Amino acid sequence: MNFLLADDHDLVRETLKFFLERFDPEVSVTEARTLGDAINAGEKLDHLNLILLDLRMPGMNGFSGLETVRRRFPNVPVVIISGFVGRDDVIEAIHHGAVGVIPKTLGSKAMLGAIRLVLAGETFVPSMVARNEIEVSDELMDVDLPADSPISALTTREREVLRFLTTGITNKAIGEKLGIQEVTVKLHLRGIFRKFQVSNRTQAVRMAIQSGWLN
């Protein structure tokens, strides 16, 4: 199966590709950073089974980019992926032809389940769509965790930083979301890396997803 993954954040693409390739041993993931790159890449593939499209990457221009992709690949299911999904975004995405909307913060099991659903011809809508915006969930901050879970070692602020880290935004953007300085974000990241015993953002995101914290 050929999947096209279009997102301008390298970390997000790398992480999503890692889990998409676990969906099926025969899955091949083609990557793109812009809408134009995605269209060019898709047209070069002999057969395309699924398109995963970042809502806010360069060239999208809102939902007009989704409409362009639907016109160019009318028989291929298109799923919108986004770090921050408002209820109106979900409704508009479905209205413009998407077969699903997957938050980038969705856990690996839930994400793969959503992909199976859309490949089976169904539509996937996140259960959290009733909220105004999917950002940091208080439920995830307060959830009871096993004593051996790597997440349990994190402070509340470190969990907040990690939550935003999974969306692929920059340290500066995380600081703006949390109302703290970028240097403070970096300090929290160091704490996360040390407690997770990892050395970079990608490894930290993978551990967060594998822990089941984001499911």
Nearest to 81, CA basis, from 71, 65, 150, 68: 65
Q: Looking at the structure, do residues 37 and 126 belong to the same domain, yes or no?
A: yes
pTM of the model as a whole:
0.64
Q: What percent of the chain has pLDDT over 70?
A: 87
Q: Looking at the structure, do residues 157 and 93 belong to the same domain, yes or no?
A: no
Q: Is residue 215 part of a domain?
A: no
CA distances from 74 to 32, 38, 44, 77, 191 (A): 19, 15, 16, 8, 47
Domain total in the chain: 2
What one-character-per-residue DSSP string does 70-119 give?
Answer: HHHSTTS-EEEEESS-BHHHHHHHHHTT-SEEEETTS-HHHHHHHHHHHH
Token match 């953007």: residue? 173
Last residue of a domain, one of 130, 157, 184: 130
Q: Which domain holds residue 184?
A: 138-210
Last residue of a domain, one of 76, 97, 130: 130
Whether 158 shows a pLDDT value over 80: the answer reads: yes
Strand partners, 112: none
Of residues 98 and 151, more confidently modeled: 98
Cβ atoms of 81 and 66 closer than 8 Å: no
Q: Looking at the structure, do residues 163 and 65 belong to the same domain, yes or no?
A: no
CATH number for the domain spanning 192: value is 1.10.10.10
Torsions phi, psi for 124 (to 5 deg): -110, 125
Q: Please tell me the distance from the alpha carbon of residue 83 to that of residue 20, in angstroms, as a whole number.
A: 17
Q: Please tell me the distance from the alpha carbon of residue 88 to that of residue 131, in angstroms, as a whole number.
A: 10
Half-sphere exposure for 30 (CA within 13 Å, toward CB):
20
Classified as helix, coil or strand, 165 is: helix
For 107-134, write each residue's pLDDT tens digit: 778 888 888 888 888 888 776 553 444 4
Q: Looking at the structure, do residues 73 and 11 belong to the same domain, yes or no?
A: yes
For 69-83, write each residue's pLDDT tens digit: 999 999 999 999 987
